[in-house]
Amino acid sequence: MEGTRQELPFVVMLASLFGFAKAAFLGFMGIIGLVSWDDVTEPWGIGALVLAALFAIASYALLRGSRVARMVLGALAVAGGVIALIYVFVGPTSAILPSLFTAALAAVLIWLLYGPRAAQEYFATA
């Protein structure tokens, strides 16, 4: 007898969509980084593409109910948020608002994964 699978909660689906959006953004930035490889002093395109792949894979696995994907997306969001907050202080003044926005989105993603009761119950039974 097979156990019944709980339906995917909206907050988990939304967190996965955030992850896919981040993957698309990082993939686009990675392509720009590769195209402009010779014109920049610090090549970062490959790193952005690797992060895009991690976000995409984890977001897809999150839709399948993977607890590991939840932890990976949470860890990537924490790392991205911390890096964004550091960049607020060490980056140029023009990067303050985008960095704060990036950190806020990372906090929203973490909350979507771990805050709502629906997400907690879904991953408790997954």
What pLDDT, in 10s, does the model give residues 4-44?
557 889 999 999 999 999 889 888 888 887 887 766 656 66
Tokens 């002093």 label which residue?
A: 41
Range of the domain at 92: 11-125
- List pLDDT tens digits, range 43-82: 667 888 888 899 999 999 999 989 999 999 999 999 988 9
Amino acid at 125: T
Contact between 74 and 61 under an 8 Å Cβ cutoff? The reply is no
Total count of domains within the chain: 1
Residue 4 lies in a domain: no
Residue 93 lies in a domain: yes
Residue 23 lies in a domain: yes
Residue 115 lies in a domain: yes
pTM for the complete prediction? 0.80
Residue 62 lies in a domain: yes
User: Does 2 have pLDDT greater than 50?
Assistant: no
